[in-house]
Amino acid sequence: MRYFAYILALLAGAALSFEGAIYGELGKTIGQLETSFYNFFMGSIIMGLLWIFFGKGKLSHTAEAPKWSLLGGLLGVVYLTSIVISVPFVGVGITMVAVIIGQMVMSMIIEHYGWLGSKKLKINKEKIFAVISMIIALVLVN
Amino acid sequence: MGTFMILFTFLGGITLSAQSSINGTLSRKTGTIETTFLTFATGTMFLAIFILFFGQGNILALLEAPKWQLSAAFLGTLYLLLTVIAVPRIGVIATNIAGIIGQLVIGIVIDNFGWFNSLVIPLDTKRAFSLLFMIIALYFIYKGNKRSREEIPVQHR
């Protein structure tokens, strides 16, 4: 089951790459902010349908959940908008490198301290090596 | 201006990893599909406000856009759904690094064939080596995660 979760995460990234390439084209015709809006709007419809047919959780838990745990949507918007704004200034390559490094460093800090309700998993040698390998890979891609 | 933009994007990466851990937490009690739905629903509301004030494009052009471009929404939804499933099982950093690797590998493939009108950048030795380092990174993150788990034997799930 754990291997399976790694494969799902790999697939998630693959989907994001296809999405980015396709939305780049859509953004040219309808505008960048409009493209983000379209993405979230369609996502709501797709997930709304999935929820109606397959939802097993408790949506009503939202009312009791801590308010900070509901901020995922806003953070997603900040992420998309920051990319859309910065690509024209510094190019796709540098934008992606900056985003990915920010993402890796922050993931490590969040997990090390167990912030935001995530499982507390200490940083170790292997994880640092993983991040260094990723940075080398990023430099080689560009 | 350039440096400021790089810092700004760096912040974008930070929000993305914060989002994956927040969503992972919410999904434990609310459910996977429910969490993904909520993220999209609140994101739509925020963007609706932004578009009203700052939108310069033409949202109605959506109706004339080629359908293959519109199908990307399914991929965006898939990304979020899969992330919400993976975080509670393998943790924030493993999910993010595996996600980044999937993203870069497909990015290299898209570049190589020039799909979706993108620039054609062939797969050369440098990029082949970069793929190798990604595999090494994935190996280390798996090892590192296994060791953190063994150090704290009592874990829920």
ipTM: 0.80
Together in a domain, A139 and A81: yes
Is A75 touching B (CB cutoff 8 A)? yes
Together in a domain, A50 and A71: no
Sign of CA pseudo-dihedral B133, B134, B139, B142: positive
Residue-wise pLDDT for A100-127, tens only, equals 888 888 888 888 888 887 777 777 888 8
Is A107 touching B (CB cutoff 8 A)? yes
CB-CB: which of B7, B47, B58 is closest to A40?
B47
What total of structural domains would you count in chain B? 1
Residues 6+ apart with CB under 8 A from B51: A33, A34, A37, B59
Is A18 touching B (CB cutoff 8 A)? yes
User: In this structure, is residue B6 part of a structural domain?
Assistant: no
Q: Which of A98, A100, A79 is nearest to B93 (CA)?
A: A100
CA distance B72 to chain A (A): 5
Between residues B156 and B28, the one the model is more confident about: B28
CB atoms closer than 10 angstroms to residue A26? 23
Q: Is the pLDDT of residue B155 over 50?
A: no
Residue B157 has a pLDDT of 43
What's the CA gap between A76 and B45, in Å, rounded? 12
User: In this structure, is residue B142 part of a structural domain?
Assistant: yes
Sign of CA pseudo-dihedral A131, A137, A139, A142: negative
User: In this structure, is residue B5 part of a structural domain?
Assistant: no
User: In this structure, is residue B74 part of a structural domain?
Assistant: yes
Which domain range does residue A8 map to?
Answer: 1-56
Is B120 touching A (CB cutoff 8 A)? no
Together in a domain, A108 and A83: yes
Residue A69 has a pLDDT of 85
Least confident piece of the model among A40-49, A87-96, B72-81, B146-155: B146-155
Least confident piece of the model among A2-11, B85-94, B111-120, B147-156: B147-156
Which among A20, A38, A56 is the end of a domain?
A56
- The count of CB pairs under 8 A between chains A and B is 453
Q: What are phi and psi of A31, to 5 degrees?
A: 105, 150
User: In this structure, is residue B111 part of a structural domain?
Assistant: yes
Which domain range does residue B100 map to?
Answer: 11-149
What total of structural domains would you count in chain A? 2
Residue A45 has a pLDDT of 92
Joined together, the tokens standing for residue A91 give 């190019």
Together in a domain, A1 and A29: yes
Together in a domain, A32 and A73: no
What's the CA gap between B123 and A92, in Å, rounded? 18
Residue-wise pLDDT for B97-128, tens only, equals 888 888 888 878 888 887 877 777 778 888 88
- Give buried/exposed letters for A67-78 (b at 16+ CB in 10 A, else e): eebbbbbbbbbb
Q: Which of A34, A129, A139, A131 is nearest to B65 (CA)?
A: A34
Residue-wise pLDDT for A15-49, tens only, equals 887 887 788 778 878 887 888 889 889 999 999 99
Report the pLDDT averaged over residues B78-104.
Answer: 84
Joined together, the tokens standing for residue A127 give 């994880």
What's the CA gap between A82 and A66, in Å, rounded? 26
